[in-house]
Chains A and B, each alone.
Chain A
Amino acid sequence: MTGRDAVREHVAEVLGQPAGSLDDHEDLLDRGVDSIRLMHLVERLRESGVDAEFVDLAETPTIAAWADLAGRRARA
């Protein structure tokens, strides 16, 4: 469960905005992702089996980049 759709769901919930309104390539910092929300996202991704790191998400704040990362960091 780590494709773009899954990541988009997590982001939508943390932001309290509909998933359909989020573009895969837009900068999520412009959509209101701040440090605390990012920490929540890290914990959610970890719960779903991805070794996500705060700094990685912070450096490239788009759904596309996070989905790539989630694919690479998924625990077997």
Chain B
Amino acid sequence: MTGDERFDVVVLGGGPAGSSVATLVARRGHSVLLLEKERFPRYRIGESLLPATVHGLCRLLEVEDEVAGAGFQVKRGGTFRWGAGKEPWNFLFAVSPRLAGPSSHAYQVDRMEFDRILLRNAARHGVDVREECPATGVLRDEDGRVRGVRYADRGVAGTVRARYVVDASGSTGRLWTAIGGSRHYSDFFRNIAVFGYFHGGKRLPGPDRGNILCAAFDEGWCWYIPLSDELTSVGAVVDHSRASAVQADRVQAFLDLVGRCDIVSDHLADATRVTEGVHGQVRVRKDYSYATDRFHADGMLLVGDAACFVDPVFSTGVHLATYGALLAARSINSVLSGDLPEAIAMAEFEGRYRREYSVFHEFLTAFYDVQQHEDTYFWQARKATGIGDTDLEAFATLVGGMASGDTGLAAARRRLVTAGHELSAGIAATGPAQTPSGERMATLFRTPVVREVMTEGSRIQAGGVPGRPLLPGGLVPSADELGWATVG
């Protein structure tokens, strides 16, 4: 009986990417089924968000007010003890202290709550949400096109057919292999993260109390995210070669590493580690920076961590995931409504998504390059001058239009090294946190690699502005922002 079920779109996974694409397709009146393996609320890392997500994307999801009212910690930016200077500096979302408006803050969120809000919102928009229903494989027609999925509903196997299948099952899903591509894991960002939670950690002074703090130390860096007045999320990121040592005794490894990052251990001087409940575990994640070499094929699209992820230091994960979801929804909506041929709509999805990924990749490479700690292995291995050829090739391919062979690689390396130098100069000119110059972001925002990384996020927030194509000869968002339109 279930074999007869049909939907316009089936979405696999109910994280931010899955809930977003499902809601945005349902908003155009199409039928959407969302299959989620777990029962919500469920734990997830990825707690520090950007304005583009909580305002831009959440506005399109019609959930902005609910998110604003959920009591999440307000974040005006990030504080970094990172780079040449000893003093922490700020990357604030507002270009100057007086420029208010939604684009000048984001939130630190408990993902159990944030993801549940987005999933419930999908259901409210008419998405058929089924929890504890893992997808187990794809169905194809005679031509090999993906036409649906198999799934398990409390142990009972079912099948469902759809015009499009969107895989948003995160980094642990296996269904992305149905796309027929492979995944490139970055060597440069090949880190391992070990993380847990504390009660009673100190807060940064004044308006920075809600900021994420990221601090470099000899062997890597730590994050310190204030989730509420009481609770702080803390993580240490080190080279992947330490994986077995870390995994042998996670709690001890975690406490040791955090203890070696002075600014973070100072903040934790009077704090106690949470040892019970969902925040009581010390967790480990590794090899999380990768991109799949195609994001769509024959009736199937990948979004969120199922498609790609690159390094968490700048809190870009949920933005990239939900940006991919927005693009996928626009492309699917444009085909389902008959406005655009599939090939053109999908090329826009894939082209824009890869562009955003490569922009983040370049920015994050520059960000690591900025740190001066050249006498330790971790930081030596993360200078742009030393990036390996396979990573450079992957980057050159992403950026597109770069020459192939040695000259292409040399050009890609030069570009990344230059981006690092420009970013260093921007940070130096901005100066330490809470100084007159350190409150003004104009210099940093003008740095080319920063400008690039903010372009699309700002446009999504601005909404409704007549856009120009982002890609040469490409499409622009339709008036309702839920599809694509041609120009001219």
What is the interface of chain A, defined by CB distance below 8 A to chain B?
Answer: 29, 34-40, 43-44, 46-47, 53-55, 58-59
Contacts and interface: CB of A to CB of B under 8 A. Distances in A.
Nearest to B95: A58
Interface centre among A34, A40, A53 (most CB of B within 10 A): A34
A34 B101 contact: yes
B102 A46 contact: no
A36 B461 contact: yes
Interface string B359-398: 0000000000000000000000000000000000000000
Nearest to B98: A29
Q: Chain A interface secondary structure, helix, strand, loop or mixed? A: helix
A46 B101 CA distance: 22
Nearest to B100: A34
B101 A37 contact: yes
A56 to B, nearest CB: 8
Contact of A55 (B442, B461, B467): B442
A34 B467 CA distance: 20
Contacts of B101: 34-38
A47 B462 CA distance: 15
B463 to A, nearest CB: 8
B430 interface: no
Given A29-B98, A35-B99, A43 B442 contact: no
26 contacts: A29-B98, A34-B99, A34-B102, A35-B94, A35-B95, A35-B99, A35-B100, A35-B102, A35-B103, A35-B104, A36-B101, A36-B461, A36-B462, A37-B101, A38-B99, A43-B462, A43-B467, A47-B466, A53-B451, A54-B95, A54-B445, A55-B442, A58-B95, A58-B96, A59-B95, A59-B442
A75 to B, nearest CB: 13
Interface centre among A37, A43, A46 (most CB of B within 10 A): A43
B70 interface: no
B95 A40 contact: no
Contacts of B102: 34-36
A40 B94 CA distance: 16
Nearest to B468: A46
A13 to B, nearest CB: 13
A14 to B, nearest CB: 10
Nearest to B103: A35
Contacts, number: 55
B263 to A, nearest CB: 29
Smallest CB-CB A-B distances: 10 pairs:
A34-B101, A35-B101, A39-B462, A43-B465, A35-B103, A58-B95, A55-B442, A55-B445, A36-B101, A59-B442
In this complex, the interface size class of chain B, counting residues with CB under 8 Å from chain A, is 20 to 34
Contacts of A58: 95-96, 99, 442
Interface string B243-274: 00000000000000000000000000000000
A55 B446 contact: yes
A55 to B, nearest CB: 5
B458 interface: yes
A29 B99 contact: yes
A6 B466 CA distance: 18
A29 B459 CA distance: 20
A14 B441 CA distance: 24
A58 to B, nearest CB: 4
B462 A40 contact: yes
Nearest to B104: A35
A62 to B, nearest CB: 13
A32 B366 CA distance: 36
Contacts of A59: 95-96, 442
A54 B468 CA distance: 16
A55 B95 contact: yes
Contacts of B461: 35-36, 39
B35 to A, nearest CB: 36
Interface centre among A37, A44, A54, A59 (most CB of B within 10 A): A54
